Structure 1
Amino acid sequence: MAHSDTSRSLPVRAVLFDVGDTLWHAAAAPPPAEFRRLAAERARAFLADAGIECPDPAALARACWDAMEDAMRRARATTLIEPDYAAVAARAAAELGVRLPPKAAGQFLEAIYVSGVEGGKTAYPDARPTLLALRQRGFRLAVVTNRAFGGDRFRDDLAAAGLDVGWDAVAVSVEVGYLKPHPALFRAALDALAIEPAEAVMVGNSLAEDIAGAQALGMRAAWKRSRPDAEGVIPDFTFETVSELLAWSPLAGVAHVQ
């Protein structure tokens, strides 16, 4: 379902993907009470192992997590600079009278995080087949995603969801230091691929972050139809299921490989 298909002088060589609600979704997410129970249980275990005194581990987990999410929301609405979540959690702990040094605070957030398959993340049925088909056509593949947790944890979550397709680049906001739609996050992937913006297309579910951010750099962008989060943003292509990408004109043939 093409909305527009702006021509580019350079052939497309790579496809950049958002992850959440683009390649996977929280189809089987536990109820909030279960998330809180797991977080409290892990908080108690972490604090005991670290020898940190805390009268209410569950309250500490909630306070640190809420502070992290608040910091991310503020950053998305203002500077687009990824917050220092460890420092944010350390301050939240201090307000409860718990001394949690920044390094330990970062480890605490990682410990209480319920992620991936355990958190109900399930890949869309046609996501992996589509990625493999694009790779077979010669396109390079990259992840460009806003996430407070990266590293091996995120990559393991991709693998557990069946999305381990040999990514050529992975740009995660917490690792790069900027949140979409900041150009730095897109450029991190483009630089890793050693290509120009016009040689890539972006695929995502957010008009504000994925579509507008990519188009501002000169990329074409495909929107997985979702609740609109911006006005006046016109995707180059709109789709309902991931496999529809295979019929989009920039991706329908074999990639140009230099």
Structure 2
Amino acid sequence: MSAYTAEVIGTMMLILFGNGVVANVVLARTKGNDGGWIVIAAGWGIAVFIGAFCASEFSGAHLNPAVSVAMAAAGKLSIVDAGYYVVAQFIGAMLGAALVYLFYREHFNVTEDADSKLACFCTAPNIRKSGQAFFCEVVGTFALILPIFLMAKPSLIQGEAPSDSDPVLGLGSLGLLPVGLLVFGIGLSLGGTTGYAINPARDLGPRLVHALLPIKDKRNSDWGYAWVPVMGPLLGAVLAALLYRFVLSS
């Protein structure tokens, strides 16, 4: 399987399980209705582990444009390859979001709250101040990328050219569990302000699907906020990569 196909499949699984747990908690008449934030945070941690496990052997399991951009900033991935990774991630995210809708379609139909329906696709701040939300997304993604780099093998930022046999991040199957726990921890500690997108594909891809699908009584897709969970994670990722590169070279 090619790295790009793996990124499509892995990101699709990430969104199926991640947005799926949100749907299970916020939509009407589900078994998990009103399960609470801890259920959502735990579900997302598991979603990251499952998606990464599916793709790790073939692509390094970025599943997130912020990771791919950070790898490019670290000199471990070419800009062209990073671009292909990002395209694959957006395709996978949109497929996963569509599956969540099809799976929970009858519950979308009986849910009256249009904001809850949108929440099954993308994030929104609880206090609508874009500057603060942007800062939170930068910090949240920084807190994701830097630990991932520290978990990865030391050659990550030592200027070695990537090879087809190198899984890029070098975490291996066992290293994926700490990444899932890391995302769980970010959700518990830093997710209360914006819903911790920390992944442009995870937010923008499903947001596009929300805009396109014939969801009963849906609201607008909140395009005025959509730039925050895209640009914030990208900046946070680059800052984390640059800091790690500086620390390693010092």
TM-score for the superposition, normalised by structure 2: 0.26
**1 or 2, which has the higher helix percentage?**
2
Select the structure of larger CA radius of gyration. Answer: 1
The answer to which structure has the higher strand fraction is: 1
> Normalised by the size of structure 1, how large is the TM-score?
0.25
